[in-house]
A and B are shown apart, each in its own frame.
Chain A
Amino acid sequence: MLRLLLPVILLLGLVGFSVVTDRSAPRADFTFINRGDVNTLDPQRMSWMQDLRVARLLFEGLVQNDVMSADFGIVPAIAESWSVSDDGLIWTFNLREDAKWNNGEPVTAEDFRYSWRRAMLPDLASDYVKMFLVIKGAQDFYDRRQAALEAFTEREFASGKEREAAAEQLWVDTQSWFDEMVGVRAPDPRTLVVTLKQPVPYFLDLAAFAVFYPVYQPLVERYERPDPVTARLIRRPGWTKPGVLVSNGPFELTEWRFKRDMRLEANPHWWNKDSLAIGSIDIPSVNDPNATTLAYQTGTVDWVSDVTAPYRGDMIADKQDFYAEHADLVARLRASEPDQFAVDRKLPDDPRKHIHAIPAFGTYFYNFNCKPLLPDGRPNPFHDARVRRAFAMCIDKQAIADEVRRLGEPAADQLIPPGSIGGYTSPKGLPNVGQAASEAERDAIVDQARALLVEADFPMDLVVELLFNKDSGHDLIGQAIAKNWQEFLGVQTRLAQKEIKIFREDLKNKQYMTARAGWYGDYGDPTTFLYVNYSTDGNNDRAYNNPDYDALLDRAARELDPAKRMELLRQAEELMLFEAPLVPIFYYANVQLFDAAKLTGLTPHPRSKNNLFLVDILGDGRGADVPQDMRPPAPEITR
C-alpha cells in the first residue's frame, strides 16, 4: 500500500518545498501593471514604451520633460544649467555637483560620452541610433566602424590568436576615432559640450529621451568584449540584474524575475530623493487583458497603464453614464478644472470613474504601397497619388472610431495629433466621407473620388488587398474599410490577415497594396512623425518618394527661425496628406485605470510620457499629499 502512495508523496513533497522556498515580498508603496514586460534595462538598447518608462525611474538624463505642464517644457535634471551658441550648433551642459550613481560615485560628463558612444556603435544595433546622428561626426563614425567591421569579416588571418588580437586592436582604434570625429566632448567632469551637425531645435527633448540617459561605464564595459570572429562588440547579459546594476535615477533595482515581477526601491544616493513621495514600486508582470483589469478591481494594483480588455469600450460607456448622472457637477467642474483627472477626483466616489481615456501621441493609419509595380510585376495603381487620394477620401473614419473602436478616439485628418506639439499648427487634411454634414455633401465627396479614379484610369477589375495582422481588432477595422471602398468606389476588395512576423516582413518587402499601420511620436517635434515618409527613411514602409517632400524637410532642418521652420514642416505635412501615401484613420487613446482621488502625479498630456517618480498616494502621510494638476490648461485635442 505504501508503494502505491509513493507518487502522491513525491508530488506533495515537490509542492511543499516550492511553497516554503518561494515567497513574495510585502506590497510596495505603489504597484502598477506596465504596458508589457520589460525587454531590456539597457537604455541604449531600448525602444519599447514600457522599457523607457522604467528607464526614467532607474536612470536620469541631462534634462527632463515637465510632464505636468501643458507645453511639456524642459526642466533641469543632471544638468543644472545649459546654453546654446547663436548658430544653434554648440550645446554646453553644466552637470550638478551632487549627481551620484547609486554606489555613491559622482555622475560625470564622461559617463554621458561613454553612453552616447555606445548608442552610436553599429555593434549595438540601437533602435534609436538615428537620434544620435544629429551630432556632428556621428554618421561618419558609424559608417567608419561599420566599414571596418565588414572589412574585418572578409580578412584572412594566419591564426585564431592573430584574429583575436586584430579584433581587440580594431576596438581600440574605434574608441580613438570617436574621440577624433564626434562632437561630444567633456572638458571637465562637470561640463559636457555637444556640437551638432545642424541646428536641432528639439535637441533638449532628445536629451530627455531615455536612450540618451547614461550608463555606468566601469560596470558596462566589463560586459562588452569584441567577438573574435566578427570583431563586433558582444554584449553579455548580466549587468542589468538586481544587485549588479548601477544606476543614477530616483530608484534602484532590487528585484527582477523574468516575466514575473520587478521591484524598485528609492535610491538613497539620488540628489533629489527628498522629493519622492513613494519608497518602493512593484511592477508585476500581468499580460492577460482580463487579469489586468481584475487585478485593479481587486485592489492588487494601483495603476494599469494600458487597459486592453475587449470590454474596455463598455467601461468607458459606463463612465459616460456616471458623468450623465452628475451632469451639472461635471459641467461646473469642467469649467474650472482643465485637467480631466482633477474633474474625476472631485466627483463622488464611484468605481465607474476609475477608467480614463487619454489622448495619446500616436495615430492609426493605412499605408498605400507607392512603388510603380506590384509585387507580382503588374503596374501598381496606387503609385498614382490620385488613386490614393480617392481611396483615402472614402474611408468613414468617424464610424470606425465611434462604432468599431468605441474608445472616444477622435477621427484623424492629420498624421500628427493636433495640439500635441507646442508651436505647431496642423494643416487641413483631405475631405472625408465620415465628416460630411449632409447626404448631398457626402455624395459630392464620393463623386469627386470616383472622378479621380476615372482620371487615373484605375483598373476596376483589380482586387484591392488590405493587409493586417491578427489580433487587436485590426480585422474589424479592415472589414469596415473594405466595405467603405466597395460601397463608395465600387471596387473589389480582399482581406489578408497574417501573423505579426509575416505581416512585418511583407511590409518591409512592400508585398502589399494597402496595409494597416500606426506610429507613436518619440519626441516633441513634428519631424518625429514626418520623417517616416522621407524617401530614404528605414521606416518608410510605403516606399513613398517625393523629392518635394524631402526638400521641405531638408529646408526645415536648416532653418534657424523656429516659426519659419514650423511653417515648412506644416507645408510638408500638408503636401504629404494631399499626396496620401497613407491615410490617417484615428488618433490613439490610451486607456488607464486608477483612482484620481487616491493617486496623483500621472499626466493627462497627449505626449503619453509619465515620470512615475512624481507619483504620490494621497492621504498616506508621505510626500506633499497635494494633488498635482496639469498647468496651465492642457491643450484641447480636437480636430
Chain B
Amino acid sequence: MTTMILRRLIQLPLILLAIYTITLALAWAVPGSPVENPDRRPKPEVIEQMEKQYNLDSFWKFYVSYLDSATGFEYARDRLSGRIAQDQRLAEAAGQPAPVRPIFNLGPSLEYDDWTVNEIVSGALPVSITLGAAAMLIALVIGVGAGVVGAVKPNSIADFATLSVALVGISLPSFVIGTVLLLVFSLLVAWFPVAGWGSPRAIVLPAVTLSLPFAAYIARLTRMGMIDALGADFIRTARAKGAAEASVLFKHALKNAFLPVLSFLGPATALAMTGSFIVERVFTVPGIGQHFVNGVQNKDLFLIMGVVLVFATMLILFNLAVDVLYRWIDPRIEA
C-alpha cells in the first residue's frame, strides 16, 4: 500500500508536466493577444512592453517562468536566498503592505485586473467542491437505492422504472433539467432561490441537477453488481445459515456490488467538482467551472493554466484517494 502511494506520488509531477505542456501549447495557439482589451486597444508599443513584462513575448520564456512560479520553485529559491524576508523588510521600512507571496503562484489574471489567479481559484474552488460533494451525495443515495431496488426484482416494474429514470438522467442535458427545476421549484412554488450561493437552500437545485447523470450511472453499476452478487454462492450460504434478508442484501451483497461504484466515485467526484460549468451558469453558482471557459475565451493564459493545473492535481489526488479506500474496504486487492 505504501509503495503504491509513493509510486503514485512520484508519477504526479510527471503527469502534471505533460498536462502543462500540452495545455500551454494549445492555449498559446489561440489567436489574439492576451493583454489586449476588446474595444479600446492600447498602442502597439504598450502591448509589446506588457507582453515583455509578463514573459508573453516568447513561448519558452513563459513556459519556464510560469512553471517556476506555479510549482513553488521560485518561492523556495527566494525563501532560501532571503529575498522574501528582504522584500518584507523593505516594504515595512517604506510603509508598504508586505507583498503577498503564495507558495504556488499561479500569476495575475490578465482579464480581471484586480485579481490574482490564486485569489480566483481559492474563492471558487470551495464552492465547486461543496456543490460537487453535495451532488455526489445525492447521486449515491439515489443511485444505490435505485440499483438495489432494481436488482432485488430484476425485470419488474420497479426495475424498469428506475432504469428509465436513469436513462433520462444520462441523456437529458443538464441545462434542460436545470431550467425545468428552476421553473417548477423556484418560480412556480418558490421553495428555492433562483440564483446565488450562500444558503443551504441555494445548494439543493444545482446539486440535484448535477447529480442526475452520476446517479443514473451509479444505479446501473449497483444493479449489475447486485445481480451478480445475489447469484453468488456466498449469498446462498448466508441465506442458508438463516441471515435476515436485509442483512443479506446490505451486508453481504452490497459490499461486493459497491466496489465498481467506488472506483467510479473517484473520477466522478473530481468531475462533479470541476466540470459543472453549465449547472453553475444556469443556477449562477460562483464555482470554478466558468473560469475554464472564460479563461479560454479571453485567452487569459495565467487563468487557463492555473485552473487546469489545479483541476489536474485534484483529479490525480482523488483517484489516489479512491484507490487507497478501495484497498482498505477490500483487502483482497493487493498493490
A interface list, Cβ under 8 A from B:
1, 3-4, 6-8, 11-12, 14-15, 18-19, 22-24, 39-42, 45, 47, 122, 125, 127-128, 146, 149-150, 153, 222-223, 227, 229-230, 232, 234-238, 240-241, 257-261, 284-288, 290-291, 294-295, 297-298, 300, 499-502, 504-505, 508, 538-539
Contact = CB atoms under 8 A, between A and B. Distances in A.
B123 interface: yes
Contact of A538 (B43, B112, B114, B129): B43
A258 B124 contact: yes
Given A1-B250, A7-B262, A125-B46, A238 B97 contact: yes
A40 B39 CA distance: 16
Contact of B258 (A4, A125, A499): A4
Interface string B254-271: 110010001001000100
A501 B31 contact: yes
B84 interface: no
A8 B265 CA distance: 11
A153 B45 CA distance: 12
A298 B113 contact: no
Nearest to B207: A15
Given A234-B53, A237-B115, A258-B123, A47 B281 contact: no
Interface of B: 30-32, 35-43, 45-47, 49-50, 52-53, 94-97, 99-100, 108, 111-116, 119-120, 123-124, 126-127, 129-130, 133-134, 136-137, 140, 179, 182, 186-187, 190, 193-200, 203, 250-251, 254-255, 258, 262, 265, 269, 281-284, 286, 290, 297-299, 325, 328-329
With a 10 A CB-CB cut-off, give which of A3, A288, A505 has the most chain B CB atoms. Answer: A288
A39 B95 CA distance: 28
Nearest to A256: B114
Given A241-B114, A259-B290, 16 more contacts: A11-B140, A24-B197, A127-B37, A146-B45, A222-B95, A232-B53, A237-B114, A260-B197, A287-B290, A288-B195, A288-B282, A291-B283, A300-B193, A504-B36, A505-B32, A508-B41
B100 to A, nearest CB: 7
B115 A232 contact: no
Nearest to B200: A19
Contacts of A149: 49
B125 to A, nearest CB: 11
Contact of A294 (B50, B95, B195): B195
A18 B130 contact: yes
A300 B325 contact: no
Given A7-B262, A222-B96, A47 B37 contact: yes
B33 to A, nearest CB: 8
Contacts of B112: 39-40, 258
Contacts of A232: 49-50, 53
Nearest to A237: B114
B113 A237 contact: yes
Nearest to B40: A127
A2 to B, nearest CB: 10
Contacts of B94: 222
Contact of A235 (B97, B113, B115): B113
A498 to B, nearest CB: 10
B40 A128 contact: yes
A290 B182 CA distance: 10
8 contacts: A19-B200, A24-B197, A230-B52, A257-B123, A258-B119, A259-B123, A291-B284, A504-B36
Contacts of A40: 112-114
Contacts of A22: 126-127, 130, 197-198
A285 B42 contact: no
A501 B297 contact: yes
A125 B114 contact: no
Contacts of A294: 182, 186-187, 194-195
Contacts of A539: 39-41
B43 A122 contact: yes
A614 B156 CA distance: 66
Contacts of B329: 3-4, 6
Contacts of B50: 125, 232
Contacts of A501: 30-32, 297-299
B114 A15 contact: no
